[in-house]
Amino acid sequence: MEPRKFEIGGEKYLLGTPGEQDRKVRVACVQYQMRKIADFDEFAAQVRYFVETAGLDYGVDYVLFPEFFSVQLLSGMESVPAEEGIRKLAELAPEFRELMSSLARDFQTHIIAGSHPVLKDDGSLQNESMLFRPDGTFVSQPKLHITPWEKSCWGISGGNQLHVIETPKAKIGILICYDVEFPEAARYLADQGIEILFVPYCTDNRQGYLRVTKCAAARAIENQIYVVTAGVVGNLPNVAAMNVHYGQAAVFTPCDFEFARDGIQAEADPNVEALLVADLDILDLYRSREAGSVTPLMDRRTDLFELRVHCDASTREGDF
């Protein structure tokens, strides 16, 4: 039987041959503990510790922080009402970006910097996840679907664009927490060719955690991609609307022979600060897509169901 051929990003691959090209990547999920700090410098020291450990000790390609982990910065300020606090935090966006940009450069890794509130030109607030490249540049992915709690407590608005991000090791996308509970968002990214989906989240109880992670696992199966998740743990008693948290970082895979039997490549212990590291083989995705026990991408009934999304090919952004 002749080797099966396929092409990714202009590179040609042969499946099932001794010389097939290696496409392995290493990811790290930071299960970040929320606790009171004195100032920005103390926050920066904690963040640097995790990036340095992941980058130097483990040689990871991507480091994922949780959604809203930067809210910890409010614990070093005078306690204020929730909406006033989130706007104070948004004022620190330049310092937050500079910190993450410098760490990505220093340790030559990609950092998916959880999320941080960003004040827009029209005065609205968005919840944005920023991916920082090893050269210090970044792409900012807004949260599309805003929970009732985020709207009522913080006055956050949803964004309108999804980015497909090309990196040397993989094509990736980001969905923030609640976004992963909407299958059309992940399906759009998969249709644009992503191989790894990063999902930073922030949940205050087990029900919320289960909603996010069960949907993340489903997105991995139905789109035949890897889904990497990380949430905050711990508490911030003096910060309005950020009292308690429930988190358990995990890396989800399709459920087939190439992958872990239960579709979980790696999983941290719940509700303790941890760094979860996992190796992923991108070629396993293509083996599964072409010759898996089931092939959901290949077997889709596009004659019955069609998602109409405008995509600007020049920017690789979708407008919903």
Express each pLDDT in 227-267 by its tens digit.
999 999 999 988 988 879 999 999 999 999 999 989 999 99
With a cut of 60, say whether residue 149 has pLDDT above it: yes
Express each pLDDT in 183-234 by its tens digit.
999 999 999 999 999 999 999 999 999 999 999 999 999 999 999 999 999 9
Token pair of 216 as six digits: 């993340």
| Domain CATH for 51 | 3.60.110.10
In a domain, residue 104? The reply is yes
In a domain, residue 13? The reply is no
pLDDT score recorded for residue 313: 45
Q: Provide the CA 43 distance to its chain's centre, in angstroms.
A: 20
> Where in the sequence is the domain holding 238, given as residue range(s)?
25-290
Q: Provide the CA 53 distance to its chain's centre, in angstroms.
A: 19
5 assigned to active site: no
User: Among 143, 171, 195, 215, which one carries the catalytic annotation?
Assistant: 143
User: Among 29, 67, 195, 202, which one carries the catalytic annotation?
Assistant: 67
- CA 91/CA 73 separation, integer angstroms: 11
pLDDT band at residue 303 under the 50/70/90 scheme: confident
- CA 198/CA 141 separation, integer angstroms: 11
143 assigned to active site: yes
Number of domains in the chain: 1
User: Among 177, 202, 215, 255, which one carries the catalytic annotation?
Assistant: 177
In a domain, residue 206? The reply is yes
pLDDT score recorded for residue 312: 47
Residue 88 burial (10 A CB sphere; 0-12, 13-18, 19+)? middle
With a cut of 60, say whether residue 282 has pLDDT above it: yes
With a cut of 80, say whether residue 106 has pLDDT above it: yes
With a cut of 60, say whether residue 18 has pLDDT above it: no
Q: Are strands 226-231 and 233-234 parallel, antiparallel or unpaired?
A: unpaired
Confidence (pTM): 0.90
In a domain, residue 269? The reply is yes
pLDDT band at residue 52 under the 50/70/90 scheme: very high
In a domain, residue 51? The reply is yes
In a domain, residue 81? The reply is yes
With a cut of 60, say whether residue 318 has pLDDT above it: no
pLDDT score recorded for residue 22: 84
pLDDT band at residue 78 under the 50/70/90 scheme: confident
pLDDT score recorded for residue 295: 95
Q: Are 184 and 314 in contact (CB under 8 A)?
A: no
- CA 31/CA 271 separation, integer angstroms: 8
pLDDT band at residue 1 under the 50/70/90 scheme: very low
Q: Are 287 and 253 in contact (CB under 8 A)?
A: no
In a domain, residue 319? The reply is no
Mean pLDDT of 282-302: 94
In a domain, residue 188? The reply is yes
177 assigned to active site: yes
Express each pLDDT in 65-74 by its tens digit.
999 999 999 9
pLDDT band at residue 21 under the 50/70/90 scheme: low
